Amino acid sequence: MTIALRVLGSGTVAPSAARTAPAHWVETGSVRLLLDCGAGTLHRAAAFAVPWQTVTHIALTHFHADHWGELPHYLFALRWGIEPPRAAPLSVIGPAGLRDRLGHLAKGFGDWVLDPGYPVDVREIAPSAPVALADGVALESCATPHTDESLAYAVRAGDHRLVYTGDTGPSAALARWAAGCDLLLAECSLPRDRAIDVHLTPSQAGELAREAKAKCLVLTHFYPPVETVDPARLAAAVFAGPVAAARDGDRFLIGA
């Protein structure tokens, strides 16, 4: 079974003409999964002809605004932005605290957040708790050192596995969990001279891919300063496999 990845947003909270906030569209079998839902997701999907209306699952890595701030917009667009309005159920998956946060959004935006006119299954998951998305397709998770609730996700389809780190600092546990993945979609936020514990530099992303023995590395989540240092080149200095610095709109295919 193939896994197709389309990068909708490779940036961060920092405004950019070239990069919107984190959002990654994954298609495999009957699953249409959105990994994170930051500002610009829907407009990027429209620009790249991604069938956002067909989404089956949205999985949020954590609750920083750039990773889930467009979720209410997405829910609203599925009801009022298409003809006919959505009737199919939608699964929204995230770490502990998701239900409470959606409840707070409903207080601000309206009750439609929780009842948008089609069934919404809200599921909070703990690290290491796999979720069956469809026959032969599972979503796996691992805690990351970023916020208390932060998760990395893996999409497993048959013999293939795509790992998305979400936001993370260096983590040996994450490398072990990601071991042998076909594609490691890793955050690469900051250059070495601005390194902090809760994000990765290009070299650290390369080290993560090397330790995980990933088959290829795709870098994402770029703050503007990291783009001045050629992050793909620096990651490739420590990881021997293929390395790409993602751009909004890029496509990657596993198992073709």
What is the structure's pLDDT at 212?
Answer: 98
Q: Where are the alpha helices (DSSP H) in 13-85?
A: 41-47, 65-68, 71-80
How do residues 162-194 score in pLDDT, each as one tens digit? 999 999 999 999 999 999 999 999 999 999 999
At 242, the pLDDT band (50, 70, 90 cuts) reads very high
User: From CA 170, how far away is CA 78, in angstroms rounded?
Assistant: 37
Residue range 13-27: mean pLDDT, rounded: 97
**pLDDT tens-digit profile of 59-116?**
999 999 999 999 999 999 999 999 999 999 999 999 999 999 999 999 999 999 999 9
- For tokens 């069934």, what's the residue? 119
Percent of the chain with pLDDT over 90: 98
Q: What local confidence, expressed as pLDDT, does residue 256 receive?
A: 74
Q: What is the DSSP string of 166-225?
A: -S----HHHHHHTTT-SEEEEE----GGG--TTS--HHHHHHHHHHHT-S-EEEE---GG
In this structure, what DSSP letter does residue 13 have? S
Region 218-244: mean pLDDT is: 98
Give residue-wise pLDDT tens across range 44-54: 999 999 999 99
CA 1 to chain centre: 20
Q: Provide CB contacts within 8 A for 177, sequence distance 6+.
A: 142, 152, 154, 163
| Residue whose entry in the numeric block shows the structure tokens 């546990």 | 173
Output the pLDDT for position 205. 98
**pLDDT value of residue 3:** 98
pLDDT higher than 80, residue 218: yes
Q: Sorting pLDDT into bands at 50, 70 and 90, what band is 129?
A: confident
CB 155 within 8 A of CB 165: no
In total, the chain counts a number of residues equal to 256
- pLDDT at position 83: 95
Residue 177 contacts residue 228 (beta carbons within 8 Å): no
- Tell the CATH topology of 3-254: Metallo-beta-lactamase; Chain A (3.60.15)
Q: Average pLDDT for residues 22-38, to the nearest whole number?
A: 98
How many Å from the N-terminal Cα to the C-terminal Cα in the chain? 8
